């Protein structure tokens, strides 16, 4: 995938198949967490919200400056959020807290 000079990154959420990011420097892939899904409402929103939250925590001036390792961490965090929301019914009521996302990441190691 070739990105224009105005696009720093493209995120792709693939549900139970994980997620990808494409930058001008590299692509990255992170597999999904295996969860027993009850309702997928809001999964992509939770994924994207978690990735954006993570980006805001980083000190990078531009998306194309984010390292491969950082992107992998962001995708992992987003995948955990997207997976957790599917364990309950409803989009907003099922949104996980930050500590729950981190707990799933820790358990999966």
Residue 1: pLDDT band with limits 50, 70, 90: low
Please determine, for residue 109, whether its predicted confidence score (pLDDT) is greater than 80.
no
User: Could you list the residue range(s) of the whole structural domain that residue 30 is in?
Assistant: 9-108
Structural domain contains residue 3: no
Which residues are within 8 A (CB) of 82 and not within 5 positions of it... i.e. 6 or more apart?
13, 15, 19, 32, 43, 44, 46, 47, 50
Q: What angle do CA 109, 50, 94 make, to 5 degrees?
A: 90
Structural domain contains residue 60: yes
Give the residue carrying structure tokens 């990808």.
20
CATH number for 18? 3.40.1190.20
Task: Round to whole Å and give the CA distance between 76 and 72.
Answer: 6
Please, are residues 85 and 46 in contact by the beta-carbon 8 Å criterion?
yes
pTM of the shown model: 0.91
Counting Cα atoms < 13 Å in the Cβ hemisphere of 23 gives 16
């Amino acid at each position: 995938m070739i990105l224009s000079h105005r696009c720093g990154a493209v995120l792709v959420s693939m549900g139970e198949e994980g997620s990808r990011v494409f930058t001008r420097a590299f692509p990255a892939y992170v597999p999904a967490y295996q969860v027993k899904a009850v309702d997928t409402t809001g999964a992509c929103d939770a994924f994207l919200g978690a990735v954006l939250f993570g980006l805001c925590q980083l000190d990078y001036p531009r998306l194309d400056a984010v390292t491969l390792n950082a992107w992998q961490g962001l995708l992992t965090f987003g995948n955990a959020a997207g997976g957790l929301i599917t364990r309950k019914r409803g989009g907003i009521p099922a949104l996980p807290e930050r500590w729950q996302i981190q707990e799933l990441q820790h358990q999966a190691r």
